[in-house]
Amino acid sequence: MIHVERVWLAVQPMDMRAGPDTALARVVKDFGAAHPHHAYVFANRRANRLKILVHDGLGVWLAARRLNQGRFVWPRAGKVHVEVTDAQLQALVIGLPWQRIGDGGIIDVI
């Protein structure tokens, strides 16, 4: 239904009261522009809520997710944004350590 080519995490927390216009303004501020078929993921300060803004080429979609227990594994400050794969996004939204999916799970030191 919605085709997403790239997924980006915004490292800095966002107020979860933000609607689509505020989230879109934050995407433009942090990423320079909202590109078609890209998804932008934000978390609140406690990392127990997510908002995902998707630009489908015609308009924007805004989805929200909340964990009743625990928190989402979120990158530490330092970078403004981080690109993740589809598999990493799937792990992230259910609260798993998404950094270990793909190349992050490679063991190269014994």
Could you report the per-residue pLDDT of 10-32, keeping only the tens digit for each?
A: 999 999 999 999 999 999 999 99
Helix (H), strand (E) at residue 8: strand 6-10
pLDDT, position 54: 96
pLDDT, position 106: 63
Q: Within 13 Å of residue 60, how many CA atoms lie on the same side as its CB?
A: 20
pLDDT, position 51: 96
Burial class (CB in 10 A: 0-12, 13-18, 19+), 34: middle
> Can you give the pTM of this predicted structure?
0.85
pLDDT, position 33: 95
Query: Using CA atoms, how far apart are residues 104 and 57, in angstroms rounded to an integer?
Result: 31
Q: Using DSSP bridges, classify how beta strands 38-43 and 49-55 pair: parallel, antiparallel or unpaired.
A: antiparallel
Residue stretches of the chain with pLDDT short of 50 = none
Q: Which two tokens stand for residue 47?
A: 């990392």
pLDDT, position 94: 86
pLDDT, position 99: 82
| Residue 22 one-letter amino acid | T
Residues with Cβ within 8 Å of residue 3, at least 6 apart in sequence? 37, 56
Q: Sign of torsion, CA 63 64 67 70?
A: positive
